[in-house]
Structure 1
Amino acid sequence: MATKSKRAGPLDLLREYNCEKLLDRVTLKEHKVEFEPVEGRGKTTFDRKAKTAYRARKGKGDPYTLDAVLLLLKNKDRPWKEYIELTSQYGCAFISRVDKKPLEEFLAGKVDTVDGLQGAPVVAAVEIGGEDDLVLAPAAGEAGDGLAPKPISVEIPSDPAALLAGVRGVERNMVDHTSVMMCPVQTFDGYAKVASAAIAEFRKVDERRKKEAKSKDRQGKDANPKERRSSEAATVSGRAKINPKTGQASTRDVRMQFEEEQYRKNRYGDAKLDISEYGGGLGSAAAGEEGQIDPQAEAELAARNELEERRRLKMEARAKDIEKKRAREKEKKKAEHKKRRAEEKRYHKPPIVLMSPGFSCIINKYNAKLFLEKGEFQHWEVASERIRGNRPNPTQSVNRVFNRSTAPVKYKITEELPKSPDDWKRVCAVLVTGKKWQFKQFPKDQFKGLAESNFSNLFSKLCGFYFHYTSDPVPKDVQQWNVKRIGIDKNNRHKDTIAFRDFWTKLDEFLAEKRKRGDFEIAY
């Protein structure tokens, strides 16, 4: 155990018991903290609200009370939320997180001093060894600085003032609802009576004040309006009345008074016709006694007018610049919007798949739409009978649904060659027949080498497809071209789906690679 002292404060004594593992012999009973007798020391009792030598916020706040420190020491392993609820139940303050660790280290004897520990008067304890031994007072000759624990007196003084002082010395402040409710054998009837009487007196005074105000308002309304106005406003020279709120006369009354005075003076030759009713000159304020204008005042006035004119012109020029700038921005935005709309209109047009006119390709205008949409192949003669011999349109629309789960994509299949360069940029595929004359009308400026029958550049920009029956041989020219050869079985229609998938898969791969190069911006 730490060295025992006959003169120890509550914090030092609590540290000695804690270091000796005797914390279970320190108990909190009602308004006091009892230290049970141990070897070499009798029973010691402190007021539970006795202030210790440890101040909150590492020495910047108020001292912690003994019951708060004891409750922390006995519940240091509890979760923080349970510890806060426990302090509320016991009606004491809680030790903040900042002070918790250094205070625990000091009370455990790990350190001799901490930042929040400050000097306090040592309390002299009576140690007789009996059960009723109590701490009576601070040691003689020491001036208390407010940190000494409040003693509990066992003798009842005969003087009422001394008795009242003793009661006030040990009383506790009820700081919250919980501490008030935990106060034993406490009734609040007296406090309720005093509060009720004070509230009733306040209401009587308030009602009396309201009645007096109403009576004054009623007397003011009943009075004669002319008398009320005469009492509220004073007059100047019998006509100009002073407003009691502003302390000035009205403009109309001042003007009438001035005109009457001028009329009176004019009859007797004393009127001054060169001044206004307020004493200022009717003409220039800079006029002299002989009606001459002061040159300096005239120069100042001219300079002021010139400055104002320059400011006005500057503001007008600035306003015009702002207006021109806004007009330019408006035109610029309009042009950008027009350009963007044109691009959207351009790039939102459907991709184009070129077919060969006539019947040289087994996929033509009679059966292309059915095959590209549903993957069903029909010979063109059968398809012609299905449409009752009507000639189909050379340009048709195809709604692609293969590998497009969100919404179908619209394609355009046509036998007619595009007429503009923008339309040629939309061409993504061509169905070849194996004959070179098929590309005779293609623009030679867009496909280099076409005039020399070199189709490498053509099939690098357009995805070529050659549809043929599996029983027919592939022409030698087609074998040399960079085109996708897709075979159609004449008899087994369940194999049409394979050809259908091969067409769209190859086209997707070709367009994806072309989009990476920036050569194809249309949705496909």
Structure 2
Amino acid sequence: MDPLSALRDFTVRGELDNITLVGDEFRFADDYSFPCSTETAFRSKQGNLYTLETLLFFVRHHHLKHTEYLQSARFRRVPAVTLPDRKPLLDYLQGRIASSDSIELLPPTAMTAVANVDEYRPDDPSFLTGAGQSIASFPSYTVAGARGEGIAPDIVDYVSLIRALERPLKDRESLLECRNRDFYSVLMASTRREEERHRIESQQRKDGLVAKTRLFGSDDRGDEPGGYETPKPKMHLKGTKIGDGVPIILVPSAFQTLITIYNVKEFLEDGVFVSTDVKVKAMNGSSKPDCVTVQKKLSRDRAVAAYEVRDKPSALKPEDWDRVVAVFVLGKEWQFKDWPFKDHVEIFNKIIGFFVRFEDDSVESAKIVKQWNVKIISVSKNKRHQDRAAALEVWDRLEEFMRSRSHS
């Protein structure tokens, strides 16, 4: 008989008290003997087979509430039965149902008849060790057939006894419990960081207006006392002036492009390329920003202009298009649908274009882009130390473009 059927038989007959622990085995009266760690035929909904030790402890303590049962199992260091398995398992063991989908019968080699197991017999001198060691040294175990506290038989495998006492300190359920942990402080720290980020971006917008005036303002001196410079913005893009406010950089909203509104800040400010997928997962469900402010932080320039990065051209007002100075292209014509320009030739005469690709991508990926007036920027898939050079190349091209248009 397999361990599960034997346990069911003894449970239905109300003879659980006749199951005793001897060494690392459970003795079912004088009928059967199985190792404690034997896997039974009952499979958990989590996929593992319950051991005989787990099922015996459960059926003896099923009257407890599940939380109390779990605490008792952890105290005794016995793996526990999960909550979804409690009812079908108990119904089967107590005979209310004849079978279950969770039962997978094991081969008969998994069981051992008690007749093949030597018992402790005090009247047989061959079982005496001569050392006089008492079985009381192992109070958690009893030897079948022993009368009182006798002498331990020499067949006892002490290593097995020690290993039988070992139990996992943590299981799947206990790991999910976080006692004495307060996540309120984590939430508050995260909130403070988010507020600080918004404050810094707001300040960067203001600083960007000042830096833009310094970078593209007139070199003429005014008549104010002290010879202070009177800024006279005179920047034009082939007849189209830059509108008031922070210059705008457009990025695609499609995920198949390398640079998006999710990762543009790390790339341009820190010189590090992080994939959009990674950034989206890190946001943990937060909504996508409508606008991101970036500044060049990769050099020691004192006057640093700020730029707004957006990915919704359809949301731009007519006056906003006067502030658009650069675009990261997807390499598809439909990206420029409904733009206020005749074609891509006019677009890239008034706006500088960038196409970011992996350096080992096929030539076909940039076939259309090579027909446009667009600068191709290559980044490595794995060599992150090369990202800084790629980001600096974008800044150099952008600043050169801005200077040339300011004097046109």
Q: One fold, TM greater than 0.5?
A: no
Normalised by the length of structure 1, the TM-score is 0.30
Q: Which has the larger radius of gyration?
A: 1
Higher RCO structure, 1 or 2 (CA under 8 Å, sep 6+): 2
Q: What is the TM-score normalised by the length of structure 2?
A: 0.39
